[in-house]
């Protein structure tokens, strides 16, 4: 007897082939029957999927659930948005390894670089581990609603070895050797690979660079060679403008392992930069390197206040404001010399920068004074024209007047749909960058997969539905070396997403307060999702995550699942 039979679905196998109307049978967590109506096969549960489509569950290769999963085994909201496998530890921003003495430092860094509430992290994280193997064992023991795979994180490894100096200087040869030992240990314990960041937008507490940004090329090379010795694993790097694709290709060649380069987004003020990187990666692929450019199908939109101004934190001119709080920060933002330096930097061309002075894409979302309510939903460019003033001054003066409580929203990158279409169609692109689990008060792109299916495939026709599904499933699984995920095939785990192709998409963002201590996050509801199964168990129904949904996910470990 089958545990589950799904009848009459339009089945997409995840490999890019057209949908086939057929039935799917599941037993003991595996797909055991696939084809013409399974009339003779009885099942404990039968679902008539007439008019619906069935695909492999989405493989989200860029999340930051490292902290959240220790208090929220459902990895909210990803399962409800069709995700059945998530990779954590991206950019090297992990919470393991971590000594008790470093916990506060690690949490404070996450509040800055990943937009997480310090109160939420303190209330929520289960610190019953120190080493990477202990952390992976915790995930395995606790289990989660979706499958997880974890990178070894460079910044955490650096902090373990160097302490406070990790954010201040280059490492010595002995320190690099100690880091290499930790990476070896993590890969041996089943980590999916090694992740790092050289992005200037990645700053920790008080604006200090995240530890990985202080690494020299030799440090990166030495740590990446751990993958060569292990014979498995992926190197993932979020790239700063100074990090050349040619160097990353050399790492791919020397290690013999795949390299994922993030975050390649379109910048309207420097429109060719992302295509230059993607073309360089494709040229490396033609030379036999396993390389991908991680791209997004979503416009990068951030809600922010000037107490935590993520869009401008990468500006050199803003760096002196980053350590400041309260009255000291307000005084700095009021300084004419500070403002002029910011204006001048924004006006200069840059290879990559989050904010580029596009004031027509910065909007006032929420004011704290009723007398300013008329400004809500208006752009800074519009207000600047009305006041006949410089837009930077308009934004800063409004924020200061409201004691930095004003909420702004900025569309930063990926806003040109014609350009994004080219990015999504590029042969070197890996659709990615949900950042689920991070930037909780800034944005929520956890529904990137549903957005690709609904907006880019159904509405725009930029990607045919079979190809869109392949990009979200088997392509991502293949890049990561997940040999049994991302496909509907007899003998493989039943990670499945049942959806209505006429409605699928993500809904409008709204704020909910369900984090530890009542902390807030942005949410985007799923549209058109009828069911999500992880390893054969139903986790999500038409109304979202099922009551008492099973923790059906597995920790996918290298050497066992790769």
Residues 73-94 pLDDT 10s: 999 999 999 999 999 999 999 9
Backbone angles phi, psi at 440, to 5 degrees: -65, -30
Q: Is residue 267 one of the residues assigned to a domain?
A: yes
Tokens of 473: 């499933």
Q: Is residue 362 one of the residues assigned to a domain?
A: yes
Q: Is residue 252 one of the residues assigned to a domain?
A: yes
- Rounded to whole angstroms, the Cα distance separating 109 from 317 reads 20
- Evaluate if residue 186 carries a pLDDT over 70: yes
Question: How many domains does the chain contain in total?
Answer: 2
- Strand 362-366 with 407-413, pairing: antiparallel
Residues 396 and 267 in one domain: no
Residues 71 and 145 in one domain: yes
Residues 6+ apart with CB under 8 A from 73: 142, 143, 144, 145, 551
pLDDT for the residue 166: 97
Of 350, 376, 411, the residue at which a domain comes to its end is: 411
Q: Is residue 279 one of the residues assigned to a domain?
A: yes
Residues 96 and 154 in one domain: yes
Where does the pLDDT of residue 559 fall: very low under 50, low under 70, confident under 90, or very high at 90 and above?
low
The rounded mean pLDDT for the chain is 95
CATH code, 68:
3.20.20.140
Sign of dihedral through CA atoms 221, 226, 228, 229? positive
Q: Is residue 314 one of the residues assigned to a domain?
A: yes
Residues 392 and 422 in one domain: no
- Rounded to whole angstroms, the Cα distance separating 92 from 94 reads 6
Instruction: For residue 239, give the nearest of 281, 287, 288 by alpha carbon.
Output: 281
Where does the pLDDT of residue 44 fall: very low under 50, low under 70, confident under 90, or very high at 90 and above?
very high
Where does the pLDDT of residue 429 fall: very low under 50, low under 70, confident under 90, or very high at 90 and above?
very high
Residues 215 and 121 in one domain: yes
Instruction: For residue 318, give the nearest of 309, 331, 327, 328 by alpha carbon.
Output: 309
Residues 375 and 433 in one domain: no
Residues 405 and 434 in one domain: no
pLDDT for the residue 536: 98
Residues 194 and 228 in one domain: yes
Residue-number span of the structural domain to which 209 is assigned: 58-283+414-463
- What is the SS3 assignment for 492? coil
Residues 261 and 133 in one domain: yes
Residues 362 and 446 in one domain: no
Residues 6+ apart with CB under 8 A from 543: none
Of 463, 493, 524, the residue at which a domain comes to its end is: 463
How do residues 455-484 score in pLDDT, each as one tens digit?
A: 999 999 999 999 999 999 999 999 999 999
Residue 432 near residue 476, CB atoms below 8 Å: yes
pLDDT for the residue 39: 66
Residue 486 near residue 87, CB atoms below 8 Å: no
Q: Is residue 545 one of the residues assigned to a domain?
A: no
Residues 126 and 170 in one domain: yes
Q: Is residue 232 one of the residues assigned to a domain?
A: yes
Residues 182 and 326 in one domain: no
Q: Is residue 547 one of the residues assigned to a domain?
A: no
Tokens of 280: 């360089």
β-partners of residue 285 are none
Instruction: For residue 395, give the nearest of 383, 385, 403 by alpha carbon.
Output: 383
């Amino acid at each position: 007897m089958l545990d589950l039979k799904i009848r009459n679905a339009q089945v997409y196998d995840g490999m890019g082939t057209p949908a086939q109307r057929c039935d799917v049978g599941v037993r003991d967590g595996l797909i055991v029957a696939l084809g013409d109506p399974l009339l003779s096969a009885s099942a404990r549960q039968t679902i008539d999927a007439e008019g619906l489509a069935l695909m492999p569950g989405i493989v989200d290769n860029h999340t930051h659930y490292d902290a959240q999963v220790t208090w929220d085994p459902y990895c909210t909201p990803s399962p409800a948005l069709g995700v059945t496998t998530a990779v954590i530890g991206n950019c090297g921003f992990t919470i393991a390894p971590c000594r008790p003495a470093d916990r506060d430092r690690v949490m404070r860094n996450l509040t800055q670089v990943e937009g997480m509430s310090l109160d939420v992290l303190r209330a929520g994280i289960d610190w019953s581990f120190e080493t990477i193997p202990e952390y992976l064992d915790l995930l395995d023991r606790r289990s989660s609603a979706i499958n997880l795979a974890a990178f070894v994180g460079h910044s955490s490894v650096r902090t373990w070895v160097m302490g406070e100096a990790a954010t201040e200087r280059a490492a010595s040869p002995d320190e690099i050797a100690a880091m290499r030992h930790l990476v070896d240990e993590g890969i041996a314990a089943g980590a999916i690979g090694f992740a790092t960041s050289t992005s200037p937008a990645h700053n920790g507490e008080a604006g200090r660079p995240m530890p990985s940004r202080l690494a020299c090329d030799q440090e990166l090379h030495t740590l990446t060679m751990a993958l060569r010795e292990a014979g498995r694993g992926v190197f993932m790097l979020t790239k700063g403008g100074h990090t050349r694709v040619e160097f990353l290709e050399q790492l791919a060649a020397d290690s013999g392992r795949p390299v994922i380069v993030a975050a390649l987004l379109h910048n309207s003020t420097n429109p060719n930069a992302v295509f230059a990187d993607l073309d360089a990666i494709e040229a490396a692929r033609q030379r036999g390197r396993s390389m991908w450019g991680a791209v997004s199908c979503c416009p990068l939109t951030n809600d922010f206040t000037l107490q935590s101004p993520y869009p401008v934190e990468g500006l050199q001119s803003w760096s002196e404001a980053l350590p400041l709080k309260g009255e000291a920060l307000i005084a700095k933002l009021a300084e004419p010399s500070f403002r002029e330096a910011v204006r001048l930097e924004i006006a200069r061309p840059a290879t990559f920068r989050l904010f580029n002075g596009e004031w027509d894409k910065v909007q006032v979302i929420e004011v704290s004074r009723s007398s300013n309510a008329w400004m809500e939903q208006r752009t800074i460019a519009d207000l600047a024209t009305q006041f006949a003033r410089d837009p930077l001054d308009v934004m800063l003066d409004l924020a200061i007047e409201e004691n930095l409580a004003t909420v702004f929203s900025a569309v930063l990158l990926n806003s040109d749909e014609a350009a994004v279409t080219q990015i999504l169609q590029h042969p070197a692109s890996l659709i990615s960058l949900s950042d689920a689990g991070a930037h909780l008060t800034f944005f929520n792109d956890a529904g990137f997969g549903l957005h690709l299916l609904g907006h880019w495939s159904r509405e725009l026709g930029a990607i045919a539905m079979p190809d869109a599904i392949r990009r979200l499933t088997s392509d991502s699984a293949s890049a990561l070396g997940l040999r049994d995920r991302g496909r509907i095939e007899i003998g493989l785990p039943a990670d499945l997403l049942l959806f209505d192709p006429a409605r699928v998409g993500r809904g409008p963002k709204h704020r909910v307060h369900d984090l530890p201590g009542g902390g807030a996050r942005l949410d985007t509801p799923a549209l058109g999702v009828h069911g999500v199964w992880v390893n054969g168990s139903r986790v999500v129904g038409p109304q979202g995550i099922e009551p008492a949904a099973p923790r059906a996910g597995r920790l996918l470990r290298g050497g066992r699942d790769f």
